[in-house]
Chain A
Amino acid sequence: MKKYIFAFITTIVMFLLQTTIFPRIAIKDVMPNLLLVCVTVFGFVYGRRLGMFTGVLCGILHDVMYSSVIGLVVILYVLIAYVNGSVIKQYFSKNYIILVVTFALSDLAFNLLYFITRFLLRGRIEFITFFVQIMLPEMIYTSIWGLIIFSIVSLIDKKIYPPREVFAKVGDVKIKSQIKE
């Protein structure tokens, strides 16, 4: 239960930052996708369930306030959280290179799907331009901010769940059930 509250608060904070402060300090009109970072981090720190919970929350906030169709971004975020949650079972370590790759790939996947659903279907086919102008820089910013936010989240996680082994030995079914407590 504690981790759900933790995820909820973090998501709200990230959403506020993303919609108010980051657009104003965006570099060349591109800003990192903090909501995606949230979804990814909670996906692989606490598993698929909490990842999907965060995904639904982020998606609903995004769609209800800024999008004409409710549900599209929710699906994208939930899918990303699910994949991250299940892949990390096998690969998770404190290896920062893997983390960066995960953030970059998640961001790329999100933007590709978003591009296909919102732009390609409307007949905007300048993929290369959009890739160079938006997807690539966003990928880099998101990876950097992802590392920062990941460190903060894992610090707070240490405070909430003191035994560290729970975190390191993910992959073993018995220990996984301990995480849920």
Chain B
Amino acid sequence: MKFNKRNNITIDPKYILIIIIVICVIIAVISFRFEDKMTPVRNGVTSVVAPMQKGVNTIGVWLADKKDYFTTMNKLVKENKKLKKQIKKVNEEKQLLQQNKYELKNFRKLYDLDEEYADYPKVAARVISSDPDNWFNTFVIDKGSKHGIKKNMNVIAGNGLVGRVTEVKNSYSTVVSIIDDESNVSGSVLKTKDHCIVSGNLSTMNQGIIDVSGIKADSKVKDGYEVVTSQISDRYLPGILIGYVKDVKKDSSNLTLTGSLVPAVDFTNLEMVLVITELKDSEDLEEMLK
């Protein structure tokens, strides 16, 4: 301690540093052990900062549009041609499928099956900000408990899985995307019914792919097969498209197959997402396991 001109006691920065670190360690332990205790704090800070982010974000969206405009012109022209061809093809397929769907409905009625995958109730939300560092992939959306969002609800965009809600505040919530390095989703390959685990991978993420692992070694998985969320997942509703398998190989243990997965959603510029306001009801599953 030393005294300055006005005879106020000033604490040496060294001690301030130590005090801050000690406090932080305590808070870290508390927030790790008792997550709920920190909710009011998080709520308070978010409700102040998020509206500001919401405003600034519109500028961000505008800038991103401009950036795309200059960088992707050629690509778009090519893509346009390709897509036009695809539309023709898809239209034909669609008609076939619609006929099939009608039939399927009747069959389902016969078998007393509900339309499981059909329509989950959804809420649209705008992405207003993302993680400030380059290591993780979380973002904040402008819907919260006020709009009926709950923890662990699934988030989709287009028809692909984006992630799940991890924290809910009054009118905002935080979403961890499936490409986040700490995220794992249990999925299944649609055509072969093989179970697999999709996990985010930071090191391959900027090539637009993540990892898929744990497929049975005798499986007939091929490139381009769709992976959807599996029935046995306890957080994700079944049947949501995650992405397409790519480069499947036997891993070093020779027991399972590992490969990459191209997500169905383009994560580079997410603006709008849909939150499925239905939670996976894992009680039935737990009862069955007992």
**Chain A residues at the B interface, C-beta cutoff of 8 Å:** 12, 15-25, 28-31, 33-35, 47-49, 52, 56, 59-62, 64-66, 68-72, 74-75, 78-79, 82, 85-86, 114-115, 118-119, 122, 124, 126, 129-130, 133-134, 138, 177, 180
Contacts and interface: CB of A to CB of B under 8 A. Distances in A.
Contact of A129 (B23, B38, B67, B203): B203
A59 to B, nearest CB: 8
Given A21-B57, A71-B26, 8 more contacts: A20-B130, A47-B13, A82-B13, A85-B13, A114-B135, A119-B202, A138-B134, A177-B5
Interface string B130-150: 111111101010000000000
Give the interface size bracket for B toward A.
Answer: 35 or more
Looking at chain B's contact residues, is the secondary structure mostly helix, strand, loop, or mixed?
A: helix
Nearest to B27: A71
Interface string B1-36: 000110000000100110011011111100110010
A78 B63 CA distance: 32
Contacts of A82: 13, 17
Given A56-B20, A118-B135, A23 B5 contact: no
Given A70-B27, A71-B31, A122-B182, A18 B17 contact: no
Nearest to B46: A65
Contacts of B49: 12, 15-16, 61, 65
A66 B131 contact: yes
8 contacts: A15-B132, A21-B59, A65-B174, A66-B138, A68-B31, A74-B20, A115-B135, A119-B181
Contacts of A126: 203
Contacts of B45: 60-61, 64-65
Nearest to A178: B5
A21 B20 contact: no
A122 B128 CA distance: 29
